[in-house]
Amino acid sequence: MRLTGGTSSRLGASWDGRGTNFALFSANAEKVELCLFDAQGRRELERIELPERTEDVWHGYLNDVSPGQLYGYRVYGPYAPERGHRFNANKLLLDPYARRLAGRLVWSDAHFAYRTGSAREDLSFDRRDNARGMPKAVVVDESFNWGRREIRPNIPWEDTIIYEAHVKGLTQKREDVPPNLRGTYGGLSSPAMIEHLKNLGVTAIELLPIHGLIDDRRLVELKLANYWGYNTIAFFAPEARYAQDNPLDSFRTTVARLHDAGIEVMLDVVYNHTAEGNHMGPTLSFRGIDNASYYWLNKENPRYYDDFTGCGSSVNLTHPRVLQMVMDSLRYWVEVCHVDGFRFDLATTLARGPNGFDRGSGFLTAVRQDPVLATVKLVAEPWDLGMGGYQVGAFPSQWSEWNDRYRSAMRRYWSGEGSLIGDISSRMTASSDLFHHDNRATRAGINHITVHDGFTLADLFSYNEKHNEANGEENRDGSNDNHSNNCGVEGPTDDPKILALRRQLRKNQFACLMLAQGTPLLLAGDEVGNSQSGNNNAYCQDNEIGWVGWDNLGKDGEDFTGFIGHLTALRRQFGQIRCQRWLDGRRTDGSYGVLWLTPSAEEMKESDWKFPEGRFLSYVLGPMEQGQAPIFIVLNAAPEEIAFKLPKMTEYKNWQQVLNTTGEEPASVAFPSGADTKAPPRSVLAFAGSA
């Protein structure tokens, strides 16, 4: 027989070498049809009703379907938005477990389950077939020859330095990357790019979303795109626009080559919402398969969604099958694609229960016990837009979290704001006020100054105001609270003093990021002064605004690659910066974890922390093991030089300067213990103790 019942045990399209099993979850459907298409995806060849239903999984096995076959689903059920159901079998739907997508979405009103423009809008019913303009799922052969050399780097958390990048934007303008690889998965692992990453000293590249995505209709009509990719429609399929041929194999080849170079690959993943938007959005997959199961619906009026994400709807991980989909997706990227970690966009939404954020939620519990995910790095963006959404410091010990408190404090400090030394001291020592509980380690906080969302580092010190006019929203989008400082001129300038100050402040931010305890994250392009011309929300700019500009690469005074490489080397040299134990002060035996010192090298008292408008902070991180040198760190955000004394310690006769951000090259001057010297205006200094 050509068609048999198959199995419900594995969702999606699973080829076993002889035929393909199809399985789709829907608790509220009445019938499911599998639709097979020709190789171009233009002509529907046949519809086959899935013959079996087991525990709300509809399934069937076709013995003549092999890899390369294009398919979709039509799902029958009630169209009753007021009850939360939005079935419409006229709409071809993507398999949530699709491993590969063929074609792109061609926008038309046919993608909406209701008659657009009708008097009652989404309560009406549309009978148009949307199949011609829909991408199709593709049956794939998941086998891949990883080769003998591919070994996962398994970088310890304490040694991890993350580099956040967009697949296309990173290499689109790199002239030393072969033209055919620019903007692709292959460009990430080109020899020039790997050499650059190694020169920086980063250990992991974190990619903005690469799950299958669509461009919003509004953006397409404005001739823009959903460039960042936070508009997922397929949680198992690598986005095809970054591949020259087979996306899955292209991505895995890149992972293998980066692993060979000792660099881990992390993915920014968006499980909190989908590309289907709010109740007026299109019906592309989940909404038409089982709207009431996949999304959080308003209890009082299920026609509407509970929107914790700001994107119109929220994925409901309290449903066991929806949770299964997310967990299956995560394991797929680890087991099939050898990914080393994930950064979870708006992670608070994933851990919501009926009463809000829940540390014992089904999602966090499932992750905690999963043996596959136990081997990878997990990073939460610990907030969403719902009630009680800000949860920095609240995730379990298995997780690390983006530390926006570090970002805010450091931006304010180096932009010239005073009376912050208490806050800065916490941020430089792993933010123990946020993360020192429940057996969490110092790696819990992911320190960052800039990320994809917001100003680049160059723009942070070039613009006081956002300039997002190119986004088509009359500059209303993007944050107004940037803690930036244009140093006297808004935007580009030829004034050498302003340019020098801007470079100095960028170096200070780099220095603090690498000298701070916690896990550092760099934004791609900051090392070469990449600018977005003041746009702090370039999510739709798949062009010169959003791509990394490499014009300063190799230019003296403008390319900080070597400077960052020196900082990452210092971080490796001084284990107390990377230590996963929390610091303490002076111990009974005279040893110490950290000593906070006044400019006269005396241990700080309570009154010293309240010094009016204080901008000077100095401290010693003591050795963590025998033979290790202490490091003395000085931060001076004041616009004038400040005299200070080197710590006088009997066991260390000299302090060797290993960092001075005001010099082009790190000065290697030796100072006697207890010597007087000066911290230049707006500078970061570091000294290593020696016997």
Active-site annotation, residues: 345, 381
The structure tokens listed for 614 are 């204080």
Tell me the CA end-to-end span of the chain in Å, nearest whole number. Answer: 83
Q: Which amino acid is at 193?
A: M
438 forms beta bridges with none
93 forms beta bridges with 73
Handedness of CA 425, 428, 431, 437 (dihedral sign): negative
List the Cα angle 87/93/95 in 5-degree steps. 120
Residue 627 contacts by C-beta under 8 Å, 6 or more apart in sequence? Answer: none
The structure tokens listed for 540 are 């739709």
Candidates 666, 659, 683, 680; CA nearest to 509 is 683
Residue 161 contacts by C-beta under 8 Å, 6 or more apart in sequence? Answer: 200, 201, 202, 203, 204, 514, 519, 520, 521, 522, 568, 571
H helix or E strand, kind and range, residue 323? helix 320-335
Judged on CB neighbours under 10 Å (0-12, 13-18, 19+), 590 is exposed
Task: Read off φ and ψ for residue 684, nearest 5 degrees.
Answer: -125, 130
Query: What is the DSSP secondary-structure string of 28-83?
Result: S-SEEEEEEE-TTS-SEEEEEE--EEETTEEEEEETT--TT-EEEEEEE--EEGGG
H helix or E strand, kind and range, residue 350? helix 347-350
